[in-house]
Amino acid sequence: MEKKVRLKVFRYNPLEDDKPHYEIYEVPYVEGARVLDLLNYVREHLDSTLTYRWECRAGQCGSCGMMINGKAALACQTLLSPEDKEIVIEPLPVFPVIKDLVVDVEKCVRKILKVRPYVHRGSPYKRPEVMYQWEIEEVKPLRECIECWCCVSMCPVVKVAWDVYGGPVVMNSIAKAALDRRNVFDHILLAFLEGLNACTQCAMCKEVCPKEIDIPEKAVGRMRYIAYNKRNLLRPDHRFVVESLRRNYNPLGELAESRGNCFGEWSGLPSLNVPIAKEDAEVLYFAGCMASWREQTVARATATLLKLAGVNFTALGPYERDCGSVLFRLNDMELAQSFALYLKDILKKFKNVHTIVTSCAGCYRTFKVDYPMRLGIELGAEILHSSELFNRYLKEGALSVKDGLNFKATYHDPCHLGRHVGVFDPPREIIRALGIDLQEMLNGRYREKSLCCGAGGGVRSGFREVAREVAAYRIREDVPKEVSIAIHTCPFCYFNFEDAVKIKSFKLMNVDLTELLVAAVMGPEASKVIGKERYEAITRPSAT
């Protein structure tokens, strides 16, 4: 029997149809075939009215960009897998549909033309024009862009605030000129005005780019560096963040000496007696700014779980300084380096520490990626996110579930933990070990395709309403309707989701994975850690 593949194709002709619909086509499976081959088969043998763009078949023209199983991609480059039984094909979002899979990209083209994406010379061109390899290294990868519009379609900020942020392809177009040594026009200022600091640096654009252009780092990051360090271009809210980091060693404006107070008698709860700066400790718990001052139950739950697992650990309390994550996003490398060197130096006092565990996905990515790759600084210890460590303890028996949690919930993959570093399974394994019925986010937006919460890249501090709208979009579009709990492994995501819930009146409870774990491990005794009201809310969501 001939093997077939089912295609579910978006159809819509605005001149004839009242609303969009989907047509189902069954086409023969051919090993090595690409999605474009399937569409051509449909058009040639099943339905000649199906409309889509294509030209080169070689991934160079960018014409055949479309949504394939929830991800923007080139149809001519997307291989058919033997496991594929159904493929959903849709037009690129954010653009008006002309017909079926053909969209009107005029708005984006006009945005590109507006930023004058070409080199402005200070003097007439003279031959021969000599340029050395090192002079074009920054620009060369950016010139690989084929304007397929995949990046724009997947950008979380473009989805809700295209008027604030030009989008990845626009930033790439500006950077091609801004980083060219022959250019004399002020493209950096233009980028700043086009929302340079409104990019969350979630790297979704890089994830879908057929040329793998690293726009968040090579275009946005590089222009941010020049804007901040050479032009002093910084939004007022970001200036406050930097000043707070200089004075108080945190971006929140909190007093440095109050860091770690949540471990003591906090909000009517008893002290946890967490060891601070214990020199013979083997594990260092780096709480981070959000767990220390905004989502304190996360820090309390994490420290308690470490104690229950019998770990010889310590926290730094008032001796802890910021990881520097936001500074890497703003590109204040000097201050970021000072925090990295401080932590490396203070670790010398803890000669037995072999593991550093973080609650925050941002801290995790900073220690794991930014310190070694951007500063050349290694902390000399294993860097683990709390979900990785506690999943290990559950498997080894150091932690065991006392009271299972019987309800449905969804999980939001943080960009810093998931797409940037590849930690997808440990949180899910813990969730299932707790007895929770995990419902993945809708529209295929989970794991590598997870949509950003909106808080990253300094957007939460510099463009609060934009960050909130991105979170609201995520909740409205992707959270399954039968789910009332969203589980997080990043306090920034948690906080931004919670803000959107309050402002938009969504019926959704946000909870950190460690809160659920401590409740399942301790039972009612967890009330002393996270509070009775919180314990009852997260263990009996249907009653709240």
What is the per-residue pLDDT across 442-478, written as a single tens digit (0 to 9) for each? 999 999 999 999 999 999 999 999 999 999 999 999 9
pLDDT at 122: 87
When pLDDT is averaged across residues 420-434 and rounded to a whole number, the result is 99
Q: Which of 35, 150, 47, 43 minimizes the C-alpha distance to 84?
A: 35
CB-CB contact of 463 with 452 (8 Å): no
pLDDT at 123: 87
Model confidence band, residue 249 (pLDDT cutoffs 50, 70, 90) = very high
When pLDDT is averaged across residues 248-260 and rounded to a whole number, the result is 97
pLDDT at 437: 98
pLDDT at 226: 97
pLDDT at 132: 87
pLDDT at 1: 67
Pick the residue with more confidence: 236 or 133?
236
When pLDDT is averaged across residues 312-328 and rounded to a whole number, the result is 98
Asked if pLDDT for residue 544 goes beyond 80, the answer is: no
**Half-sphere exposure of 391 toward its Cβ, with a 13 Å CA cutoff?**
17
Asked if pLDDT for residue 336 goes beyond 70, the answer is: yes
What is the per-residue pLDDT across 25-84, written as a single tens digit (0 to 9) for each? 999 999 999 999 999 999 999 999 999 999 999 999 999 999 999 999 999 999 998 888
Asked if pLDDT for residue 356 goes beyond 60, the answer is: yes
Asked if pLDDT for residue 124 goes beyond 90, the answer is: no
Measured distance CA(415)–CA(419) in Å, rounded? 5
Please, which residues have CB within 8 angstroms of residue 333's CB and are 6 or more apart in sequence? 225, 229, 327, 374, 375
Walk me through the domains of the chain, giving residue ranges and CATH numbers.
Answer: 4-103 (3.10.20.30), 106-229 (1.10.1060.10), 248-393 (3.40.50), 402-543 (3.40.50.1860)
Question: What residue has token string 């000399």?
Answer: 380
Model confidence band, residue 160 (pLDDT cutoffs 50, 70, 90) = very high
Helix spans in 209-324 (H)? 222-229, 236-248, 289-293, 296-308
What letter does residue 536 receive in the DSSP assignment? H
pLDDT at 175: 98
- Reading the block at residue 280, the tokens are 């013979």
Q: Which long-range contacts (CB under 8 A, 24 or more apart) does 380-383 make?
A: 380/344, 380/347, 381/284, 381/347, 381/353, 381/354, 381/355, 381/356, 382/354, 382/355, 382/356, 383/355, 383/356, 383/358
Asked if pLDDT for residue 232 goes beyond 60, the answer is: yes
Amino acid at 74: L
Q: Which of 340, 368, 341 minimizes the C-alpha distance to 355?
A: 368
**Half-sphere exposure of 211 toward its Cβ, with a 13 Å CA cutoff?**
22
pLDDT at 401: 97
Please, which residues have CB within 8 angstroms of residue 310's CB and are 6 or more apart in sequence? 398
